Structure 1
């Protein structure tokens, strides 16, 4: 056991407490050191008092410390399940002299990321993973230069469908003889889902409803690219139909899209014109199951024509909860002719197919740019006198929000009879065509 230790930057001295080092006795000394770059030999000497008793003459080879690397990793965009370009630059963490040449770098991506076989001018991948982690590995090899340090490097990686819990990238540097000369880590970028993506429908168990999908495309096509394929994934218990009148084009460009695939859990549309960087909405008919869980999710993917590469996508989109014990037909909407900025009458009609006490209100939400003009109950026309309106001359209407209108039912006697229902009320149109939202 070491009784005392004294050290400088080059010399470590240890005095043993009691017994001197004897022939055949193994002595183990553990200490902390700060490695430096380059070859190092270690001299070990023993003393009896002030006299040298033994030495290894400095012939014990030490260890080969590696560089601490500082990577900088950047991606301009990172949509899910998409091949994206990433820029990487690596520098030594310390200002050292005699930095070794690094003709090869090994990239270890975070979980879920993958590399194409040819992942850049200097990048290649053989589908290997790092040990038992399952994390994808790629190799960067210098061409026309002796080192990859302090150099801007670009490579391609395929993002996962969602951001992994661990975003750490690991980079290993190798020297001219293939030996390890440096390691570094860097926090990566998140996977960004397509903006404004959402799914809307009336959640009625077993009903045939219109499902509306909305999304915003942030990046438009370049040169001869055509973003004309829209893939929709739904829970397997949801059956989609985009045939004939089941498809609502809403704001998709061009002529009526082709219904390339539909059925349980999926739908594919092929457009006649390319999508641009803009906000879009479209709808299709769906048959809903009796229930959906929180893990039953939707997805929207935009693909490039020909290569079918995903250019943007949104996964893990939640649906609306499904109400049981309520059977309502798909609502229909009609409106009177009106110019921009003028008053129009909107009529919403639907049928309730079973007597129910599950309803406490009917609520109508208006698109951006429209305003409801209800000022008194008399401004609303209801076709069914059996509707149990909240008692009171004016209490059954909530028109406090210009973008929303609610018709309140009597909580103490909420039974709503089966039959057709129709409500008509005044609205003000947007001032200009540009003010009419694509999703309305």
Structure 2
């Protein structure tokens, strides 16, 4: 926190609800207003603070001493009566508890282990390409992103992930980190038939040998992690490893189809597959916001923040901040923003599964670029409102 030579100011009010359906379906005007009004604003609809700027976002996400995760990564303070829920054992704790668990999980998701799973990913991709050759038009979300990720990730995590069950539960969970609105209530109704399945999903006897699940339970047996953490982490992986990767891949396919010059570049150099994904999730962050809670009265860029205040870092807005990125609204494979954009978070809580997601996306995009000369839109994309995510529901594509 920098020292100031002038008095602190109060955050200006912004009377736009970022969780309203119109904003969820078209967040760009809100993002622009959030960025340009002030470094930090107060969202009057929910009584929380927010930033849409890159530098301020990094400051908040990098300092758990001032901005704790223990209040939850969503808009509600989960420590308070009425909002209490069991915290995520990885994402909603601070160092040193977080550091110890992350060290164990980092070892389980080491580059060597992920490369070992890559052959399975490539087999899934080969089979999927043959299926896609038979179709005139396809849905890039369901027929590519969901089909590939659910098969590939299911093998790595060691849990069977039926599409309807998995997508309904994940959708509900990502709506739960937002406010109690109609979007959440509708997702809870859709998920209700699958709640019993979800509760039994992570039983020890359900996980496959050699998988992430089996490795987690082995760590519990050795006392490296506390009892119950294995199941908690597996539930985290179901959402973080499916919806986020599916959404990332869907956005990448959409942007490549809209920009045939960039698709041609990828076909000419399949090594650009990773860059294609990084640039896509910079433009369309799968997770649009993440919250921290102030541990004491503090400030960001001279704007006062009271103790126990929720402050959201709006990742989608920060990734289009013109203070950080030239021509921020352009999809351009000539720039590599890995480690610069904040779609994977930042600081001690940066996404642990990002390397696994990158390998999955690299495999399927490489396979697609080698198999098909052109990929074009066959109709308008369809978005669905999700409190925390920017998510495509359908993406009509034509592959040739």
TM-score band by shorter chain is under 0.3
Structure 2 length-normalised TM: 0.21
Q: Normalising by the residue count of structure 1, what TM-score does the alignment of the two structures yield?
A: 0.20
Larger radius of gyration: 1
Structure with the higher fraction of residues in strand conformation: 1
